[in-house]
């Protein structure tokens, strides 16, 4: 079963990984990829998890294989990447929870989302989940977050969609 | 050949009597990406600061669009290795700050800042503080801040060396795309790097520098069509040649 949690993948690195995977599209060994990129397992793991969660790579028994959409992401510009990413993360439980809250109100306090997570994960991980959701949601232009009052807000329509 | 945007003519620099740069001459031509590459001690970052007008040359001359440079060079904007963002300002405010000194009204400043953040793929992060951003994102904000000034020449000082391998590669490609983006007016860049591979991947011409004191070994045109492949077979002979020139 897929984990409902978000892997803590910085997006610049994630896209870098997809590009690197596209150079040797596989199926190929993950350890070979890790060695080529000088990444430790701890660094590689969240990136690979994210690639799998987004449907951009298949990963099985230490091998990876880019999906058709993964190949598309590798060759896409930032605008197209953003659009593909947005569609993929909309339905993820934590992202959907935040979007659901924003559909019925002007803002969603971080605390409210945290409380919902506390029954699933330890407090430190809950905080990290929120931070990753903030980053992903902002990149996807799905919602905004104001660190001054710790509230999620609807995205402003500034992006070139 | 069009008039160069920047010309260095016999530029020398001494710090406390020690010679750092010795009679450095080259041009930056409109539309090109020029890389300055060399070992530490070759004065490449000093050269970039002289082009920006942040420090004066001790001898020789810098011409900016044909005119001798005195003081800050308004035709350039600098991107720093360390990002150099103000931590108490949000991303869009950091980007807009460069326009404040030029007397651009606040609303217009912020609008332009948000447009350039969008170009860098960070429209949704306009109201994020630097601490909320990854290294790659901070550098994107740094680049947006420089582009916001509509420089004729973008000066990049080791912009990728504080980033991890994967982040750096994605950002290199994004920077190359900028110079074709209709939302960006800048078409010319000078890239300082200690990575020969990076210089050859990014640049149209590479100025190979030797150290102690810094001087030009040779200017090497990289006549390989784009998109290029990192360390691809077409680039390897240039990498080889540049190593030979600098060592």
ipTM: 0.85
- The pLDDT, as a whole number, for residue A41 is 86
Q: Do B121 and A79 touch (CB under 8 A)?
A: yes
Q: Evaluate whether B164 touches A40 at the Cβ level (below 8 Å).
A: no
Q: In order of start, what are the domains of chain B with their CATH numbers?
A: 1-71+190-247 (3.40.50.300), 76-150+152-185 (3.40.50.300)
- The pLDDT, as a whole number, for residue B101 is 83
Q: How far is CA B167 from CA A73, A82, B78, B85, B138, in A?
A: 15, 16, 20, 19, 11
- The pLDDT, as a whole number, for residue B16 is 92
- Residue A26 confidence (pLDDT) above 90: no
Higher-confidence position of A26 and B215 = B215
Going residue by residue through chain B (247 aa), what tens digit of pLDDT does each one get? 678 999 999 999 999 999 999 999 999 999 999 999 999 889 999 999 999 999 999 999 999 999 999 999 999 999 999 999 999 999 999 999 989 888 899 999 999 999 999 999 999 999 999 999 999 999 999 999 999 999 999 999 999 999 999 999 999 999 999 999 999 999 999 999 999 999 999 999 999 999 999 999 999 999 999 999 998 999 999 999 999 998 8
Task: Sort out which chain B residues have CB atoms less than 8 A from A134's CB and list them.
Answer: 132
In the block, residue with structure tokens 């031509």: B29
CATH 1.10.10.10 assigned to A11-74: yes
Average pLDDT for A125-139: 97
What is d(CA A64, CA B168) in angstroms, rounded to the nearest whole number? 22
| SS3 assignment, position B2 | coil
- The pLDDT, as a whole number, for residue B207 is 98
- Residue A20 confidence (pLDDT) above 60: yes
- Residue A1 confidence (pLDDT) above 50: no
Task: Sort out which chain A residues have CB atoms less than 8 A from B132's CB and list them.
Answer: 131, 134-135, 147
Domain boundaries, chain A: 11-74, 84-154
- The pLDDT, as a whole number, for residue B223 is 97
What is d(CA B124, CA A136) in angstroms, rounded to the nearest whole number? 9
- Residue A161 confidence (pLDDT) above 50: no
> Which 183-222 residues of chain B touch chain A by CB within 8 A?
183
Residue A155: closest C-alpha in chain B: B124
Nearest CA among B131, B143, B139, B192 for reference residue B162: B139
State the count of interchain CB pairs (< 8 A) between A and B.
87
Question: By a Cβ cutoff of 8 Å, what residues of chain A touch chain B?
Answer: 10-13, 15-17, 19-20, 37-39, 43, 47, 77-79, 81-82, 131, 134-135, 137-142, 144-147, 155-156, 158-160
- Residue A2 confidence (pLDDT) above 50: no
The mean predicted confidence, pLDDT, of chain A is 92
- Residue A117 confidence (pLDDT) above 90: yes
Q: Do A78 and B128 touch (CB under 8 A)?
A: no
- The pLDDT, as a whole number, for residue A3 is 52
- The pLDDT, as a whole number, for residue A157 is 60
User: Looking at the partner chain, which of B118, B169, B183 has a beta carbon nearest the beta carbon of A158?
Assistant: B118
- The pLDDT, as a whole number, for residue B1 is 62
Burial (0-12, 13-18, 19+ Cβ within 10 Å), A24: middle
């Amino acid at each position: 079963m897929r984990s409902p949690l978000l892997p803590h993948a910085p997006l610049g690195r994630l896209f870098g990984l997809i590009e690197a995977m596209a150079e040797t599209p596989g199926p190929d060994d993950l350890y070979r990829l890790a060695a080529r990129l000088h990444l430790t397992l701890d660094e590689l793991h969240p990136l690979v998890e994210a690639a799998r969660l987004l449907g951009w790579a298949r990963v099985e028994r230490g091998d990876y294989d880019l999906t058709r959409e993964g190949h598309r992401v590798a060759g896409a510009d930032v605008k197209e990447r953003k659009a593909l990413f947005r569609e993929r993360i909309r339905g993820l439980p934590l992202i959907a929870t935040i979007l659901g809250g924003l559909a019925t109100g002007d803002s969603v306090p971080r605390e409210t989302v945290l409380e919902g997570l506390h029954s699933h994960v330890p407090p430190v991980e809950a905080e990290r989940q929120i931070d990753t959701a903030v980053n992903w949601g902002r990149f996807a232009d799905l919602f905004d977050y104001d660190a001054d009052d710790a509230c999620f807000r609807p995205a402003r329509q500034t992006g070139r969609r | 050949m069009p008039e160069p945007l920047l010309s260095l003519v016999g530029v020398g620099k001494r710090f406390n009597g020690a010679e750092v740069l010795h009679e450095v001459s080259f041009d930056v031509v409109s539309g090109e990406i020029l890389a300055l590459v060399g070992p530490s001690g070759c004065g490449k970052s000093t050269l970039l600061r002289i082009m920006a007008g942040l420090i004066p040359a001790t001898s020789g001359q810098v011409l900016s669009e044909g005119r001798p440079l005195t003081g800050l060079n308004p035709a350039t904007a600098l991107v720093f290795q360390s990002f150099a963002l103000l931590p108490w300002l949000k991303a869009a405010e950091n980007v807009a700050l460069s326009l404040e000194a030029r007397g651009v009204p606040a609303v217009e400043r912020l609008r332009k800042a948000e447009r350039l953040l969008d170009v860098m793929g960070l429209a949704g992060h306009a109201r994020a503080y630097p601490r909320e951003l990854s290294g790659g994102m901070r550098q994107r904000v740094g680049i947006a801040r420089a582009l916001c000034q509509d420089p004729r020449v973008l000066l990049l000082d080791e912009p990728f060396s504080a980033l991890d391998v994967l982040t750096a590669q994605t950002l290199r490609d994004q920077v190359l795309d900028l110079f074709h983006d209709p939302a960006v007016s800048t078409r010319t860049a000078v890239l300082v790097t200690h990575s020969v591979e990076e210089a050859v991947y990014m640049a149209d011409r590479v100025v190979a520098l030797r150290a102690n004191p810094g001087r030009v070994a040779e200017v090497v045109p990289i006549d390989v069509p784009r998109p290029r492949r990192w360390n691809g077979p077409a680039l390897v002979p240039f990498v080889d040649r540049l190593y030979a020139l600098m060592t």
